[in-house]
Amino acid sequence: MIRAALNAISLWAIPVLLVGIPLVGMIRKLKVYDVFIEGAKEGFQVALRIIPFLVGILVAIGMFRASGAMDILTNALRPLTTATGFPADLVPLAILRTLSGSGSLAFTTDLVKRFGPDSVLGRTAATMYGSSETTFYVLAVYFGSIGVKRTRHAIPAALTGDLVAAIAAVAVCSWMF
Amino acid sequence: MLNYIWFGLMAIALIVAAFNGTAGAVTKGAVDSAKTAVEIALGLVGIMALWLGIMRVAEKAGLISLLGRLLRPFGRLLFPEIPPEHPAIGAMILNIAANMLGLSNAATPFGIKAMEELQELNPQKETASNAMVTFMALNTAGIQFIPATMIAVLAASGSKNPTAIISTTILATSCGAVAAVTTAKLLQRFFPYEETPPVDGTPDEATK
C-alpha cells in the first residue's frame, strides 16, 4: 500500500512538477518562459565549473583502484572484520561505495549473482549500496559548483555516516533475514 | 583535508603499482577517469538547465520560500543560522525530497541551487560554512525510500522478493543520516570557520 503510493509519487513527481511550478507562476502573473530561460542559462556554467573538481577526484580514485591498492586495504582490514563479525566479502563494497558509483554497482551486482539474490549476503550487499551515496563524487560536485576549497569537517562527517550506514545494513539484514 | 586525501590516493597508487607491476593499469585509470569526469559534467548540462530554469520559476513564484516556511521546524533544527524564508532552505528541502523519491537527476540541480544560495550567506567564499557541511552530511548519507537500482539488480538476478530490501535500506540509511548530521554538528567547533588557514597561503577574496 505504502509502497504503491511511493512508486506512484516517483512516477508522477517529475511531470507534475514540470507543469505545476509554471502553473503557479502563471497564476502569479510571471512571464514563465522568460524566467525559465534566465534560470536555465546557468546550467552550462555550472557543468563547466565542476569539471576541474570532478577530474581531480575521479583521476585520483581511478589510479587508486587500478593499482590494486583496494585488495591490500581489504586484506589489511580483514582481522578487524573477523573480530567484529562484519562479513569479509562486504568490506571492499563498503570502501568502494564512497569512492565510485559505477564500481560499487558492478561489485554489488557481482556479489548478488555469486551469493544469490535472496541470500542474506546478497540482500545485505544491496541494502548497503542503497543506503549510501558516492560520497567523494557528491562532495566534488557540490563544493566544486560553488568553488569551495576548504571543506572543513565535511569529509569526516560524511564518512562517519557511511560507516554507520554500512554497519547498520549488516546489523539490520542479519536481524531481518 | 581534501589535499591530503587527493595526494594520498595517488601516492599509494604509485607505490602499490611499483610492487604489483600495475603501472600500465594506473596510467589507463588516470586517463580514463579524466575522460569520464568530463563526460559526467557535460552530461549534466541538459538536465541542469531544465531544473535550474524550473527552479527560477518556482523561486519567482514564491514557492521556494513557501516550502521553507512550511517546514520551518526542520530548518530551525538543522540550519539555525539560515532564515526560514531564505531560498536556501526551500532548495535543500527539494534536494532531499528528490533524493528520497529516487529522482537523482532532479536532485543534483536542486542541491547545486541550494549550495549557491548557501554561498550567498557565506562570508568566506572558499571555506565551507556550517550549514553547507550539515547539508552535505545529509546529502552524502543518500537517504532514499525506494532503492530502485538495487531492486532492479535483485529482480534481474531472479529474486523472488526483490522489494524485501526496501525496509532494511530505509533503516540503514536513516542510521547513516543521523550519524552524519550528528557528527557534522559535533565536529563544527573543532574545525573553526575563521581560523582555518588558507590552503595556498593567499587571503580570501571576501576578506580582502
Distances (CA, A) of B90 to A160, B72, B118: 26, 10, 11
Residue B149 C-alpha, separation from nearest chain A C-alpha, in angstroms = 8
Return the C-alpha cell found at A43. Answer: 546550467
Whether B197 shows a pLDDT value over 70: the answer reads no
What is the interface pTM, i.e. ipTM, of the complex? 0.87
Tell me the pLDDT tens digit for each residue of B101-119: 777 778 889 999 999 999 9
Ordered by start, the domain boundaries in chain B are 36-190
pLDDT at A109 over 60: yes
Torsion sign across C-alpha atoms A161, A129, A87, B19: negative
Contact B1 A155 (CB under 8 A): yes
Query: Bigger pLDDT: B67 or A34?
Result: A34
Q: Does the structure show a pLDDT above 70 at A1?
A: no
User: B118 and B131 in contact (C-beta within 8 Å)?
Assistant: yes
| Whole-number percent of chain B with pLDDT over 70 | 93
What is the pLDDT at residue B206? 45
Domain spans of chain A? 1-40, 42-176
A129·B147 Cβ contact <8 A: yes
Chain A residue numbers touching B42 (CB-CB < 8 A): 47
All cell numbers assigned to A142 = 557540490
Mapped onto helix, strand or coil, the DSSP state of residue A150 is: strand
Is residue B12 within 8 A of residue A64, CB to CB? The reply is yes
pLDDT for res A88: 87
Instruction: Note the pLDDT tens digit of each residue in B127-144.
Output: 999 999 999 999 999 888
Cell of A107: 561489485
User: How many CB atoms sit inside 10 A of residue B7's CB?
Assistant: 11
A100 contacts A64 by C-beta, under 8 angstroms: no
Q: Do B158 and A117 touch (CB under 8 A)?
A: yes
Q: Of A59, A118, A152, which has the smallest distance from its Cβ to B34's Cβ?
A: A59
With pLDDT > 90 as the criterion, what percentage of chain B qualifies? 58
CA neighbor of B93 nearest in space, from B123, B114, B76, B122: B114
CA of B73, closest CA in chain A: separation in Å? 22
Q: Distance between terminal CA atoms of chain A?
A: 22
Question: What does R_g of chain A's alpha carbons equal in angstroms?
Answer: 21
For testing contact with chain B, the best of A100, A113, A120, A132 (most B CBs within 10 A) = A132
pLDDT level of residue B198 (50, 70, 90 thresholds): low
| pLDDT for residue B200 is more than 60 | no
* Per-residue pLDDT, B103: 78
Exposed / middle / buried, residue B194 (Cβ in 10 Å: 0-12, 13-18, 19+): exposed
Task: Enumerate residues 79 to 98 of chain A having a beta carbon within 8 A of any beta carbon in chain B.
Answer: none
Q: Which three cell numbers stand for residue A73?
A: 586495504
Q: How confident is the model at residue A168 (pLDDT cuts 50, 70, 90)?
A: very high
The answer to whether B57 contacts A72, with C-beta atoms less than 8 Å apart, is no
Secondary structure string (H, E, C) spanning chain B:
CHHHHHHHHHHHHHHHHHHHCCHHHHHHHHHHHHHHHHHHHHHCHHHHHHHHHHHHHHHHCCHHHHHHHHCHHHHHHHCCCCCCCCHHHHHHHHHHHHHHCCCHHHHHHHHHHHHHHHHHCCCCCCECCHHHHHHHHHHHCCCCCCCHHHHHHHHHCCCCCHHHHHHHHHHHHHHHHHHHHHHHHHHHHHCCCCCCCCCCCCCCCCCC
C-alpha grid cell for residue A18? 514540470
pLDDT at position B142, please?
A: 87
Mean per-residue pLDDT, A70-95: 87
Percent of all residues in chain A with a pLDDT value above 70, rounded to a whole number: 98
Question: Is the pLDDT higher at B148 or at B141?
Answer: B141
Say which residue the cell 526542520 belongs to.
B74
Interface test with A, best of B4, B136, B167 (most A CBs within 10 A): B136
Burial class (CB in 10 A: 0-12, 13-18, 19+), B4: exposed
Cβ count near A21 (within 10 Å): 22
Contacting A residues, span 92-151, partner chain B, CB-CB under 8 Å:
105, 108-109, 112-113, 116-118, 122-123, 126-133, 135, 138-139, 141-143, 145-151
Residue B53: list chain A partners with CB under 8 A.
35-40, 43
Backbone dihedral region of A29: left (phi > 0), alpha (psi from -120 to 50 degrees) or beta?
Answer: left
Comparing C-alpha atoms, which of A50, A73, A38 is closest to residue B38?
A50
Per-chain mean pLDDT for chain A: 91
Which amino acid type is present at position A72?
I
Residues from chain B contacting residue A59 (CB–CB below 8 Å)? 10, 29-30, 33-34, 37
A15 touches chain B (CB under 8 A): no
Contact A36 B54 (CB under 8 A): yes
Inter-chain residue contact A156 with B187, CB threshold 8 Å: yes
Mean pLDDT of A162-175: 95
Q: Taking 80 as the threshold, does the pLDDT of residue A24 lie above it?
A: yes
The nearest alpha carbon in chain B to A31 belongs to B57
Q: Give the pLDDT score at A161.
A: 97
Chain-chain contact of A55 with B196 (C-beta, under 8 angstroms): no
Average pLDDT on B81-103 reads 88
Cβ neighbours of B49 in A, within 8 Å: 40-44
Cβ distance B50 to A43 under 8 Å? yes
pLDDT at A102: 86
CB contact under 8 A, B167 and A62: no
* CB-based burial label for B19 (10 Å; 0-12, 13-18, 19+): exposed
